């Protein structure tokens, strides 16, 4: 027997929860299908928890268009709900003239994209903000902050459920057919499959999204492009945080784990580094401190690497690979693939936490559904 539901969302990460919230607030019947036993168990709880200001993405990309409005809404939402978030500010230090030129270009592009508050500080001005920082100068982004991502997801879930949405945990979307309406197969914990028909299906399954898109009979394979996995490991800092702001070095130093993020609880972590992998493995080896410390020394020569210890790891799903530079999310709706009611979200890496509210509204727009105004 086939059950019928108006809207199904695959994935209860921050994006799926924000989409479910938006659909439910727009008056739709929604069921979220989540393969784990709890919300946000994958990438949404394995990231930097930074609210990005929106100046690091290719001009005109979805990431660039949705980051800043999403960040502004997220700050307002957190403030109205008492969700822990702090607008700490971010510094991007440069060691030399070449680095300063990179920062100047970032500032120019950022301002052109509407991130007007960016400023270039000289070395002494940067050190006045962060006395431990050694650099020739630094980009200062006062808007950037940190948020308690789990509290944010709980709030999105609460809003969705308050408007009638339900979450089916320990259930996975295993396949479907979109040739004549949308019919999905959903497997329960015991492996038994149920057929479900729906008018709207939003595939927000993170690392599982490509597999779902590939399994939809009737969807052209080009709407399920390869997803590359960029592993990021974090090392916790044992001691008082050396910086009060987020500090992000340029280039290889960032990829080697040199970024520092203070967290909401008053501690701090370094990372994530960036390593391309073939499969998800969240183990953090105990020999990363020397690599991370090498990157951190580019702006903090006194770092004591014995205070760095393995913490957690996350995977950035990217529809662009190592050679492709600054790519974009791959979001396709009915106008792209011709399947009414279907939206696929692939490669939703940074700034997915920051932009989730705006991305959810974008999904509704692709579906021709008017989002309800925020309270």
Least separation in angstroms between residue 359's CB and ligand FAD is 9
3-class SS of residue 138: strand
Interaction mask 115-154, ligand FAD, x per CB under 6 A: ----------------------------------------
Q: How far apart are the first and last CA of the chain?
A: 40
* Closest distance to ligand FAD from the beta carbon of 193 (Å): 12
Taking the C-alpha atoms of residue 282 and residue 103, their distance in angstroms, rounded to an integer, is: 32
* Shortest distance, position 301 Cβ to ligand FAD, whole Å: 26
Please report, as residue ranges, which positions from 193 to 232 form the binding site for ligand FAD (by CB under 6 A).
204-208, 212, 232
Supply angle C-alpha 60, 62, 65, rounded to 5.
Answer: 65
Strand partners, 272: none
CB 122, min distance to ligand FAD, A? 27
Q: 303-322 mask for ligand FAD (x: CB under 6 A)?
A: -----------xxx------
Min dist. Cβ of residue 15 to ligand FAD (A)? 3
Q: What's the closest the beta carbon of residue 44 comes to ligand FAD, in angstroms?
A: 3
226 cis-preceded (ω within 30 degrees of 0): no
Given the complex with ligand FAD, which of 36 and 305 has the nearer CB atom? 36
Among 7, 8, 12, 254, binds ligand FAD (CB under 6 A): 12
User: Residue 365's CB: how many other CB atoms inside 10 A?
Assistant: 13
Instruction: State which of positions 13-72 bind ligand FAD (CB under 6 A).
Output: 13-16, 33-36, 40-44, 46-50, 52
Q: How far apart are CA 99 and CA 138, in angstroms?
A: 9
Q: How many residues does the chain have?
A: 375
Site map (CB under 6 A) of ligand FAD, residues 324-353, x = contact: ------------------------xxxxxx
Distance (Å, whole) CA 113 – CA 71: 14
Secondary structure of 184-240 in HEC code, one letter for each residue: EEEECCCCCEEEEEEEEEEECCHHHHHHHHHCEECCCHHHCCCCEEEEEEEEEECCC
Which positions touch ligand FAD (CB under 6 A)? Answer: 10-16, 33-36, 40-44, 46-50, 52, 172-173, 204-208, 212, 232, 272, 314-316, 348-354
């Amino acid at each position: 027997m086939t059950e019928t539901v108006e809207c199904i969302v695959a994935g209860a990460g921050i994006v799926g929860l924000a989409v479910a919230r938006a659909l439910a607030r727009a008056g739709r019947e929604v069921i979220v299908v989540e393969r784990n036993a709890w919300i946000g168990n994958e990438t949404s709880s394995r990231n930097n928890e930074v609210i990005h200001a929106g100046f690091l993405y290719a001009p005109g990309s979805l990431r660039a268009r949705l980051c800043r409005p999403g960040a502004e809404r997220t700050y307002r939402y957190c403030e109205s709900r008492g969700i822990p978030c702090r607008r700490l500010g971010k510094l991007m230090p440069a060691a030399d003239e070449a680095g300063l030129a990179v920062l100047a270009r970032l500032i120019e592009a950022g301002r052109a994209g509407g991130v007007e508050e960016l400023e270039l500080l000289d070395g002494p001005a940067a050190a006045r903000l962060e006395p431990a920082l050694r650099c020739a100068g630094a980009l200062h982004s006062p808007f950037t902050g940190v948020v308690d991502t789990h509290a944010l997801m709980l709030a999105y879930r609460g809003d969705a459920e308050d408007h009638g949405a339900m979450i089916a945990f320990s259930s996975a979307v295993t396949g479907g057919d979109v040739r004549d309406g949308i019919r999905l197969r959903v497997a329960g914990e015991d492996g038994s499959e149920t057929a479900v028909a729906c008018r709207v299906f939003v595939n927000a399954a993170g690392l599982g999204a490509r597999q779902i898109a590939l399994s939809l009979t009737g969807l052209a394979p080009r709407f399920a492009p390869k997803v590359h996995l960029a592993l990021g490991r974090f090392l916790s800092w044992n001691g008082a945080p050396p910086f009060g702001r987020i500090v992000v070095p340029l280039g290889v130093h960032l990829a080697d784990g040199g970024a520092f993020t203070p967290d909401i609880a008053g501690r701090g972590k370094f990372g994530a580094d960036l390593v391309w992998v073939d499969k998800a493995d969240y183990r953090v080896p105990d020999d990363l401190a020397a690599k991370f410390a090498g990157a951190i020394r580019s702006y903090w020569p006194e770092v004591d690497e014995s205070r760095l210890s393995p913490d957690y790891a996350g995977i950035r799903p990217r529809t662009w690979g190592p050679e492709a530079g600054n790519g974009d999310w791959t979001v396709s709706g009915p106008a792209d693939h011709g399947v009414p009611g279907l939206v696929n979200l692939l490669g939703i890496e940074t700034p997915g936490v920051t932009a989730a509210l705006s991305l959810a509204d974008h999904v509704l727009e692709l579906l021709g559904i008017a989002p309800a105004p925020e309270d």
